[in-house]
A and B are shown apart, each in its own frame.
Chain A
Amino acid sequence: MFRALGTHGPELSPTMGLVLDVLLLGAAFWLLAGQNRRSVHDVVLMATLVLSVSLLRVVMQPLPNIQPVTVACLLVGAQLGARRGAAFAVMVAMLSNFFMGDGWWTLFQAAGWSTIAVFGANFSLVVDGVYNAGRTCFAAVVSAFLFGIIVSFSILDGTFGAMDFLLYLVNGLPFDGLHALGNLTFAIWFGAWFSSLLVRQPTIEALEYAVMDSHGIDA
């Protein structure tokens, strides 16, 4: 059987691979960079999230198209914002593919999960600090198909006609369905818990400032 279904796009030379990695890493840093200085807590939280979700993806690799990263991207986007969600997605794609196999497809996986993070940030999964389980489950299912479509673009190399691409997408539906079911399971079991981990905690300085400000007003 042809292996293109599992081989997304052309083989990269070492130089091209390096350029791709630099581009992705640069994109992640650009997304994380901002005018506000990040606290140590933010950095540690992000690093821990990236490491643990990447590890989870690698460990779950034997299960076909079970992708814990998708729901994580949704919730990181919802709680930390689109930029940090997208940065998280890029870094997880890069780090996990370092173990699972890097290549042209990393670009599309990063793009897919980044899109999902943006989707999560804009779909009101958390409103006023309240986690919406129903919307998260719905978004988790939709995300699976969205991710499938974006990643499938990696196969377009000029020789694929529109019908070929459509057939390619349709052929992959059973595995997209499995991805959706896996997402749903993750969302039901861990969505609320994972979301609560990401709730912004005020820094000590912010707390002190708030207390002083409050006392100042009282005085």
Chain B
Amino acid sequence: MDLRPLLLAALVLFTLPAVNASAEPGAFEETYTLDWTYDFGGSYITTAPLFVDQQLFVRTSASWGGDNSPALAAFSLDGEPLWSHTNANSTHHDMAPLLHVAEGEGPCGSWPNMLIVGWSDGQIEARSTDDGALIWAHQSEPTIWGITGAMAVDEDRIVAPTRSGVVALCASNGLLEMEAQTGLGWRNGVTIGAEEYFLGDESGLLWGVTRDGVVRSIDLGEGKIRHAPLMTTAGLFVQVQGVPFSTVHLIDVDDFTSKSTLRTGTSPAVPVMYDSFVLSADSEAIRLFSCADSCEETSRVSFRSNGEIGVLGEGQFSLPFNGLERGWGFVNVSSSGGLLLEVFTTGADGYATSAPGSLTYEEMTYLAFGSDDSVVYVYTSNQTPAVENIEVDQMEFDWFVQGMTFLLFLSLGAAGVQFLRNKGTSVLRFLSIYLLIIALLIVDQVAVQWSQFIQENTSDAEAQEAWDSSWNESWRGTQIVSITIEGELHSVGGLEGYTNAYELTMAACEELGLEIRVESTSLGIYVVAFEGVTGEGWEYTVDGRLATLAADSAMLDAASIVQWYPVEAR
């Protein structure tokens, strides 16, 4: 009996991707209707709108090229503006989430219902939710940036990650009760532990700070910690953002050691906890980790999200897609622990990083979405959302990856069959397909690693004098960026603490008020245009040497000079 057809059929069955039937599309559109919008005009909304009682609070951020001051605004549930406050001194992106503190009292006094707002100029403010009146303020020391991470409440203390440390302020009057120096941080939220406060920094250090300011740290390796660590029963969950992958560390808080690590994708989002699970996302996927005794990835679904993740309810989340292709994702954790994803659009689509705000009030559910187009969109539904009620696509089907995987199995299986038949030439044929597919799948990452290796081993080989005599002498020894746009040189120096060319360039554009447009590719982030000028493309040098890596992969030192110019100007 010829078993070959049977073998082939078995191989095909074995390699068929596990796809469950997808449900009706458009569940969001069927459930929610757009109730009202508000246009802030030329600002970004980079952190989640916040519902408190029957009010919606939205904070906006300075934008590339926009001239609107960052604002904090309050609205009624039907969209009526109640009050607003602007901070003209905050000129960088304001991305510290709003923190609501219910009225209370403690050893340091009593306080009313208030919002805590951290600004990029280093100001921490407590404002009344009723009318926005200032209750107290504390000025922390900014280093270009000020407050960018999530703050937290520790009984009668407001704990805030500053640019270079952490402060604990009395909730009643804002008086400084504790201040500790840590590393330079960005978007590095703070977590309240049983004995300590935990936060990370841009150098991959995780810090533990006791309530009276005693500091300890652990080096988690090259990378950046850009979220508030999550206190799971298995240990402290910390993501270290790296290139070309990120690493999740599970930290034993007693001896402050890393118990285990997991590899994830690039540019991870701010993870959130749900029972003993952690939901995270990155440029590749949304991932669910089970962290009861130890952390392990239990489910994933293809998506790209690099900002906040909104918790809508029990096992129900929403997060923005970072790109133009898809809008937002609803994620449900199924009873079996799988991730269920529905993709939908809201109007606030495209490169969003803020999570939606949510509220359920008098059998109405409110969802507020914001993005870089500075408009807040509020949707309502009279159906109380439940996990089972939202119909979703179980898994995003990636035809390319699934097709490649199928071909991989097929070619390897065929090579095996041919080997058994002693057909040497045919074995080579199928193996060549197998190797080619593998090469296609890994070539981007290999190229990035290869270029990094070359850069590391030739960093001083051909460096040219990059210093421009027109620059301010005080810039020597600091990070400098120059951008030549249509023959005009734009330079800024005195920058420090940036670890890659992309971040430094973004900060420089912010300082110079230049608009920058980038695109993310599998090889990294490319600059598409400065001030709308695309030309034939943009290239850059680091310390006078033409860069061979994507800007976000080009590591810098404390005195690096990055120079951008259009290709045709070389």
Contact = CB atoms under 8 A, between A and B. Distances in A.
A72 B55 CA distance: 69
A189 B432 contact: yes
B537 A188 contact: no
A167 B454 contact: yes
A157 B570 CA distance: 8
A3 B567 contact: yes
A112 interface: no
A179 B428 CA distance: 18
Contacts of A4: 537, 539, 546, 567, 570
A189 B537 contact: no
A196 to B, nearest CB: 16
Contacts of B454: 167, 170-171
A2 B567 contact: yes
Contact of B439 (A157, A168, A181): A181
Contact of B524 (A1, A7, A63): A1
Interface string A1-33: 111111100110000000000000000000000
Contact of B536 (A3, A159, A185): A3
Contacts of B570: 4, 157, 159
A65 B454 CA distance: 21
Contacts of B436: 66, 181-182, 185
Contact of B548 (A10, A161, A168, A182): A168
B523 interface: yes
A29 to B, nearest CB: 31
A180 to B, nearest CB: 10
Contacts of A175: 443, 447
Contact of B450 (A64, A65, A159, A173): A173
A208 interface: no
Interface in B426-442: 428-429, 432-433, 435-436, 439-440
A5 B545 CA distance: 15
Contacts of B537: 2-4, 6-7
Interface in A172-186: 173-175, 177-178, 181-182, 184-185
B446 interface: yes
Given A2-B538, A3-B567, A171 B450 contact: yes
Contacts of B549: 1
B556 to A, nearest CB: 15
A185 B433 contact: yes
Interface string A141-177: 0000000000000000101010110011011011101
Contacts of B11: none
B462 interface: yes
Interface string A181-201: 110110011000000000000
A10 B429 CA distance: 41
B331 to A, nearest CB: 30
Contacts of B139: none
Contacts of B567: 2-4, 7
Interface residues of A, number: 33
A11 B566 CA distance: 12
A117 B396 CA distance: 45
Of B432, B433, B540, B549, most buried by chain A (CB within 10 Å of CB) is B432
Contacts of A189: 429, 432
Of B458, B527, B547, B548, most buried by chain A (CB within 10 Å of CB) is B548
Contact of A167 (B444, B524, B536, B548): B548
Contacts of B462: 161, 163-164, 167
Contact of A174 (B425, B432, B435, B450): B450
Interface string A62-90: 01111000000000000000000000000
Contact of B547 (A2, A10, A170, A178): A2
Contacts of A174: 443, 446-447, 450
B312 interface: no
A74 to B, nearest CB: 16
A64 B536 contact: no
Given A7-B536, A185-B432, A1 B450 contact: no
Contacts of A159: 570
30 contacts: A1-B524, A1-B525, A1-B540, A1-B547, A2-B537, A2-B567, A3-B526, A3-B538, A3-B539, A4-B539, A4-B546, A4-B570, A5-B548, A7-B537, A11-B568, A64-B440, A64-B443, A157-B570, A163-B461, A167-B454, A167-B462, A167-B546, A171-B447, A171-B454, A173-B450, A174-B447, A178-B440, A181-B432, A181-B439, A189-B432
Q: Which A-B residue pairs are the 4 nearest by beta carbons?
A: A2-B539, A3-B537, A1-B550, A185-B432
Given A64-B440, A161-B462, A178-B443, 14 more contacts: A1-B547, A1-B551, A4-B570, A6-B537, A11-B536, A11-B568, A66-B436, A164-B462, A167-B458, A171-B450, A178-B440, A184-B432, A188-B432, A189-B429
